[in-house]
Amino acid sequence: MEIAVPLAKDRMRFAPMALIACLVAGCSPQLPSANMPTAKEQIEMRTAIPLVRSLTPHHRVPVDLEFDVPALPDDPTPPIFIGVRVTGVDPTAVSETADRLISAGVSAELHLERIEPSGAILVGLQRSQRVGVGQQASIPLSADGIAPGLFAFDADGTTMRDAGLSAEHAASRELAFGYNNAVRPGRYRLTLRFDRNSEALIAANAQLIVAYTYKGK
């Protein structure tokens, strides 16, 4: 019994035909889109808290940011804060950078408004102030919205991880300008203008952060 062996020219003719069939069927390799946002860009595009924004040398221009505050499963009026965070690989270096920002006396003017159909409603903020050795007191932010400095604060770790804003291999520290312990869910607008010694934020590669407050156990 003889077995027919395909000629080389038959094989050559079959290859381009198979390729054409594959292309028609849509099995061509997919190239990444040039317009596909990177992971960093996706993080910067978040419009619900927790969120972060990178700071640039043009940070003296007032920040005007709108965002949503969703209710938490265990808290219909969750606490939130507004401030900055520093990140890095070395926890010691990150802590030292955060401490320097606290000592630098970085100040800002900030106003938080809840957007309602009837108009914007100003939301009061508080800040922490040292009143003794190892003692802190919560006092209202002044009517002009001036926060005279940053103070140590903690973001809620669970919601930060769920939003892709923290990772096990990275260290981070949060600092606050102001906070509110009970915010109604809804749409908000933050107007923030960095004031004194704001160049320290750029040197520290700090990010603006609006996030849920860590409530502890």
Domain that includes residue 115, residue range: 39-212
**H or E segment and range at residue 135:** strand 135-140
Q: What is the pLDDT of residue 101?
A: 97
Q: In the predicted model, what is the mean pLDDT of residues 6-35?
A: 46
Distance, in Å, from the CA atom of 123 to the CA atom of 125, rounded to the nearest integer, reads 7
Position 13 in a domain: no
Distance, in Å, from the CA atom of 127 to the CA atom of 32, rounded to the nearest integer, reads 46
Asked whether residue 18 carries a pLDDT value surpassing 70, the answer given is no
Q: Which tokens go with 167?
A: 């990772």
Rg for the chain, CA atoms, rounded: 26
Position 16 in a domain: no
Asked whether residue 96 carries a pLDDT value surpassing 90, the answer given is yes
Confidence of residue 153 (pLDDT cuts 50, 70, 90): very high
* Selected residue with higher pLDDT from 29 and 195: 195
What is the C-alpha end-to-end distance of the chain, expressed in Å?
83
User: Does the reported pTM lie above 0.75?
Assistant: yes
- The SS3 of residue 160 is helix
Asked whether residue 217 carries a pLDDT value surpassing 90, the answer given is no
Position 10 in a domain: no
Position 48 in a domain: yes
Confidence of residue 11 (pLDDT cuts 50, 70, 90): very low
134-162 burial, b for 16+ CB within 10 Å, e for fewer? Answer: eeeeeeebeeebbbbbbbbbebbeebbee
Q: What is the number of domains present in the chain?
A: 1
- Tokens 């050795």 appear where? 133
Position 1 in a domain: no
Position 59 in a domain: yes
- The string of pLDDT tens digits covering residues 82-92 is 999 999 999 99
Q: In the predicted model, what is the mean pLDDT of residues 172-197?
A: 96
Calculate ∠ Cα 71-150-121, nearest 5°: 40
Please check whether residue 136 is in contact with residue 185, taking contact to mean a CB–CB distance below 8 angstroms.
Answer: no
Asked whether residue 62 carries a pLDDT value surpassing 90, the answer given is no
